[in-house]
């Protein structure tokens, strides 16, 4: 694998046939009809009003409404400008389709394509940037349909220098119907920060016994500890201490010592340098100092639907909670605000609460809101249960009151609920359906809340 060094180290030894050079600005942007200036988006008035219907004053908040308006509300009325630490979104993908839940209910539309889709996302991403703190990060989950156009758009909005990673995720098991191409089993997560001072806790995986033996094959005679041998030099020529001779040896050509000669001698005296039969020094890296296997940018272990025993709401775009756990732990701290403005089934919100974060969830689909409330009232259902529903149950009205919802509800966590005032009657029906609100007086009837137990892998 090639390792680049500073372009200023070029020594003009190779002959490059074409060596073009460019002067001036190297920034870039996407251009299309209907693209509004940034300030027009940021300064536009909030068109609609939002009212609190339930549990007023709670730090966790759920909104039923258009996220473009809600994001403006959060900036100008909730005083959350530059206070959100982490944003994860799983928005529409620009597929020109509609999606149904596992009980065959229409859940959301994904009917914008091309430049219309780009501008839809751009307006919201600009407002999300305004909400992010200087230590904040944003993760955007997409498939291959518009991911590259959105990457360039996010370069423009957040700055290409703040691009942190392009994660490829295995979303499902293999597919047999390849339609004259390769099986589509991956999707992608684009990771940007607001600045270079972003919150970061390196994600790592636990070691298995087999992996330990493979990666740390050597046994130290003195201590009996497992170790592996790693080079003590690194790419690039240095003229300071790390470029000097150590024990009669210079670093290999084009490289330098990773440590000063003094430090190397200390390591050698401590028995932490391995000398080969040919006199080649390498450092002993012991397993007991290892904090885990750093997570790379290909994620194979967070598929959405592994078997019929997993628990879920049945919402069509529901994501694996361990995917959200990894992101939330890596890019936020306890009591930070985590925002998901395409909240769907509410997985982001529940995982954020489990790990001591405050959440804000937004969705414009009543089916999504129903599933979020169901998650926080009843918990999740086994995936296999959706295959056993009768046709009569599949046709049950979203707002039909069900006897299984007790008059006094134990919520899995506290949250305040807001609605676009134009559609409050719709969402009041949902809240009343779960006995969270008295439909006649619009007063809350919440019972005791409790923290939901952490997810466990099946």
Tell me, yes or no, whether 264 lies in a domain: yes
* 188 and 232 fall within a common domain: no
- Percent of the chain predicted with pLDDT > 70: 80
CA angle (306 as vertex; 303, 309 as ends), nearest 5? 135
Long-range contacts made by residues 265-271, C-beta under 8 angstroms, separation at least 24?
A: 271/220, 271/222
**Residue range of the domain that includes 246:** 209-289
* 60 and 189 fall within a common domain: yes
* 88 and 226 fall within a common domain: no
Tell me, yes or no, whether 21 lies in a domain: no
* 225 and 171 fall within a common domain: no
Which pLDDT score is estimated for 308?
45
* Low-confidence winner among 88-92, 161-165, 285-289 (lowest mean pLDDT): 285-289
Q: Is the pLDDT assigned to residue 446 strictly greater than 60?
A: no
Q: Is the pLDDT assigned to residue 315 strictly greater than 90?
A: no
Cα–Cα dist 457/47, whole Å = 43
Residues 6+ apart with CB under 8 A from 223: none
Q: If you average pLDDT over residues 290-307, what whole number do you get?
A: 83
Which pLDDT score is estimated for 284?
94
Q: Which of 259, 289, 319 is the last residue of a domain?
A: 289
Cα–Cα dist 408/425, whole Å = 22
CB 373 within 8 A of CB 437: no
Which pLDDT score is estimated for 390?
38
Tell me, yes or no, whether 1 lies in a domain: no
Residue identified by tokens 């719709």 is 426
* 329 and 390 fall within a common domain: yes
Confidence of residue 3 (pLDDT cuts 50, 70, 90): low
Q: Which of 271, 289, 307 is the last residue of a domain?
A: 289
**Most confident segment among 185-194, 279-288, 370-379:** 185-194
3-state SS class at 306: coil
Which pLDDT score is estimated for 334?
97
* 168 and 60 fall within a common domain: yes
pLDDT in tens, 13-57: 777 787 777 888 888 889 999 999 999 999 987 778 899 998 888
* 142 and 176 fall within a common domain: yes
Which pLDDT score is estimated for 292?
85
| CA distances, 34 to each of 29, 39, 73 (Å) | 14, 15, 24
Beta bridge partners of 228: 285
**Most confident segment among 31-35, 173-177, 208-212:** 31-35
* 278 and 178 fall within a common domain: no
pLDDT in tens, 93-116: 766 665 544 555 554 556 678 898
Tell me, yes or no, whether 102 lies in a domain: yes
Tell me, yes or no, whether 246 lies in a domain: yes
Q: Is the pLDDT assigned to residue 435 strictly greater than 90?
A: no
Q: Is the pLDDT assigned to residue 417 strictly greater than 90?
A: yes
Which pLDDT score is estimated for 97?
64
| CA distances, 232 to each of 125, 159, 225, 246, 278 (Å) | 44, 36, 20, 11, 16
Cα–Cα dist 43/75, whole Å = 11
Which pLDDT score is estimated for 407?
40
Tell me, yes or no, whether 144 lies in a domain: yes
pLDDT in tens, 233-277: 999 889 899 999 999 999 999 899 999 999 999 999 999 999 999
- Tell me the pTM: 0.80
Chain mean pLDDT for the chain: 83
Q: Is the pLDDT assigned to residue 455 strictly greater than 70?
A: no
Q: Which of 289, 308, 324 is the last residue of a domain?
A: 289
Which pLDDT score is estimated for 180?
82
Q: If you average pLDDT over residues 116-145, what whole number do you get?
A: 96
Q: Is the pLDDT assigned to residue 387 strictly greater than 60?
A: no
* 306 and 337 fall within a common domain: yes
Q: If you average pLDDT over residues 167-187, what whole number do you get?
A: 84
Cα–Cα dist 224/147, whole Å = 49
Give the total number of structural domains in the chain: 2
Q: Is the pLDDT assigned to residue 207 strictly greater than 90?
A: no
């Amino acid at each position: 694998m090639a390792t680049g060094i500073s372009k200023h180290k070029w020594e003009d030894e190779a002959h490059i046939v074409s060596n073009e050079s460019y002067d001036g600005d190297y920034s870039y942007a996407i251009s299309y009809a209907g693209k509004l200036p940034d300030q027009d988006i940021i300064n536009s008035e909030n068109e609609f009003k939002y009212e609190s219907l339930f549990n007023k004053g709670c730090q966790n908040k759920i909104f039923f409404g258009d996220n473009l308006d809600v994001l403006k509300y959060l900036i100008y009325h909730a005083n959350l400008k530059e206070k959100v630490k982490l944003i994860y979104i799983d928005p529409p993908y620009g597929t020109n389709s509609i999606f149904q839940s596992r009980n065959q209910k229409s859940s959301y539309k994904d009917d914008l394509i091309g430049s219309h889709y780009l501008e839809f996302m751009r307006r919201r991403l600009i407002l999300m940037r305004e909400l992010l703190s200087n230590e904040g990060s944003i993760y955007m989950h997409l498939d291959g349909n518009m991911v590259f156009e959105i990457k360039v758009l996010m370069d423009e909005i957040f700055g290409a220098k703040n691009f942190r990673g392009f994660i490829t995720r295995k979303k499902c098991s293999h597919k047999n119907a390849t339609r004259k191409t390769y099986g589509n089993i991956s999707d992608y997560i684009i990771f940007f920060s607001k600045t270079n001072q972003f919150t970061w806790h390196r994600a790592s995986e636990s070691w298995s016994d087999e992996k330990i033996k493979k990666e740390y094959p050597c046994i130290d005679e003195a201590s009996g500890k497992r170790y592996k041998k790693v080079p003590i030099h690194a790419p690039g020529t240095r003229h300071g201490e790390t470029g000097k001779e150590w024990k009669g040896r210079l670093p290999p050509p084009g490289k330098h010592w990773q440590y000063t000669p003094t430090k190397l001698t200390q390591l050698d005296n401590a028995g932490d340098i391995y000398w080969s039969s040919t006199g080649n020094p390498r450092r002993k890296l012991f397993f007991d100092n290892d904090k885990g296997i750093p997570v790379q940018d290909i994620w194979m272990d967070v598929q959405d639907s592994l078997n019929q025993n997993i628990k879920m709401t049945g919402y069509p775009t529901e994501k694996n909670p361990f995917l959200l756990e990894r992101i939330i732990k890596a890019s936020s701290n306890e009591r930070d605000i985590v925002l998901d403005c395409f909240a769907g089934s509410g997985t982001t919100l529940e995982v954020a609460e489990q790990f001591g974060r405050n959440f804000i969830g937004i969705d414009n689909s009543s089916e999504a809101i129903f599933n979020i409330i169901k998650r926080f009232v009843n918990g999740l259902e086994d995936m296999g249960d959706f295959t056993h529903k009768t046709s009569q149950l599949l046709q049950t009205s979203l707002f039909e009151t069900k006897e299984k919802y007790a008059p006094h509800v134990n919520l899995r966590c506290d949250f305040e609920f807001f609605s676009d005032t134009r559609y409050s009657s719709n969402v009041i029906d949902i809240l009343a359906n779960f006995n969270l609100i008295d439909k006649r007086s619009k007063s809350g009837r919440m019972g005791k809340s409790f923290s939901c137990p952490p997810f466990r892998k099946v």
